Amino acid sequence: MNSVFVYIEIEDKEIADVSLELLTKGRELANTLGVKLEAVAIGKDVKCHAQELAKYGADVVWVADDEIFAPFRTLPHTAVMVGLIEQEKPQIALFGATPVGRDFAPRVSSALHSGLTADCTELVIGEHKDAKTGKEYDSLLYQIRPAFGGNIIATIVNPECRPQMATVREGVMKKEILDENYQGMVIRHEVEDYVDETDFVVKVIERHIEHAKHNLKGAPVVVAGGYGVGSRENFGLLFDLAKQLHGEVGASRAAVDAGFVEHDRMIGQTGLTVRPKLYIACGISGQLQHTIGMQESTVIVSINTDPDAPINAIADYVIIGRVEEVLPKMIKRTHPNPPCREGT
């Protein structure tokens, strides 16, 4: 029990941002526990990423590098990860809450008979006392996430089973290089170390990958709308303003469920996490399910008819008014020749 494991997801020779974010958080956890941070990379031509992973604080990079691991298939990846965890016995194992991670992590957890907390928003080390037995535990992983529709924040602990496993969505944790010259040890495993023929019964015949239509996660300005925007037509005002500010348009779940905008623009617990320099919240009440995905924006502007809306409590600037009245004025201020819209 002397390490923190982070699974490194690599697609088209690119390391997923969430994996680097987890290395940053994993380095913090490992320092608190006084243990090593170890990265696990499984795939084709993944050894070349070892130095990049070391920059984010990986003391050890475990590599299973073979063309049979690309593209991702659940069974062989699970066999390698389970075998490595049983061998090294880490205290903690972290995975990105991506489509791959959501398929992969539960399989690993089930094989190891350990717990798994999905979609965590924070990970910290702390103590725990069992209310029934009075037994005290130290250095446990607090796996923190919203529960019951975001109405409460749950802190989940796993006192007995190891490793303590969690998935984290992309953008929730910060990504920071520890040291450009940080050196980690690279340990390579042969395919036959952990897998056998039965792990390859599923063959990938063809793959279709749909790339994102926008760069909401990386946009410096996000203009987001909620149910209070009122209609899909009114969302056109948000797109006009976002275009003027060279930003992107986001939405709350309520707006998406109402059909005002596409699902891939949803921000919050079940959508994207963003950290723009400027976040303009239009007609958004500010429930926890949404704010958890944007609360670390540098500057937050709230436009709302309700002075007591929860979003106003975290906003830097609050404009009380109707979206369809305020946004045309903002558009006019940001461009000398704003687009003409009916009724403005």
Q: Return averaged pLDDT per consecutive 10 residues of the chain, 344 residues in all.
A: 91 90 95 95 89 93 87 90 93 93 94 92 90 88 82 86 92 88 86 79 79 83 95 94 94 94 90 92 92 92 95 96 93 68 51
Residues 6 or more apart whose Cβ sits within 8 Å of residue 273: 169, 170, 171, 172, 217, 267, 292, 293, 294
Q: Percent of the chain scored above 70 by pLDDT?
A: 96
Please give the helix or strand (H or E) that residue 253 lies within, else none. Answer: helix 253-257
User: Do residues 129 and 239 share a domain?
Assistant: no
Single residue among 200, 231, 250 that ends a domain in this structure: 200
The CA angle 292-178-94, to the nearest 5 degrees, is 50
Residue linked to tokens 């526990």: 33
User: Do residues 283 and 172 share a domain?
Assistant: no
User: Could you tell me which of 210, 197, 193, 230 has the C-alpha nearest to residue 327?
Assistant: 230
Residues 6 or more apart whose Cβ sits within 8 Å of residue 176: 24, 56
pLDDT for res 342? 53
Radius of gyration, CA atoms only, the chain: 23
The 10 Å CB-count burial string (b at 16+, else e) for 218-256 is ebebbbbbbbbbbeeebbbbbbbbbbbbebbbbbbbbbb
12-65: pLDDT as tens digits: 888 999 999 999 999 999 999 999 999 999 988 888 898 899 999 999 999 988
DSSP state of 268: S
Angle, nearest 10°, between helix axes 99-112 and 74-88? 50
User: Do residues 58 and 133 share a domain?
Assistant: yes
User: Do residues 229 and 82 share a domain?
Assistant: no
pLDDT for res 100? 92
* Sheet order of strands, 278-282 included: 248-251, 221-225, 278-282, 299-304, 317-320
Single residue among 147, 169, 200 that ends a domain in this structure: 200
pLDDT for res 12? 82
φ, ψ of residue 152 in degrees (nearest 5): -135, 160
User: Do residues 139 and 250 share a domain?
Assistant: no
Domain extent for 106 = 3-200
User: Do residues 239 and 155 share a domain?
Assistant: no
| 120 token code pair | 């965590």
CATH of the domain at 275: 3.40.50.1220
The count of structural domains within the chain is 2
Query: Is residue 193 in a domain?
Result: yes
pLDDT for res 38? 95
User: Do residues 130 and 233 share a domain?
Assistant: no
Query: Is residue 252 in a domain?
Result: yes
Single residue among 166, 200, 234 that ends a domain in this structure: 200
What is the pTM (predicted TM-score) of this model?
0.80
DSSP tally for the chain: helices H, then strands E: 9, 17
Query: Is residue 341 in a domain?
Result: no
User: Do residues 13 and 139 share a domain?
Assistant: yes
User: Do residues 195 and 250 share a domain?
Assistant: no
User: Do residues 269 and 133 share a domain?
Assistant: no
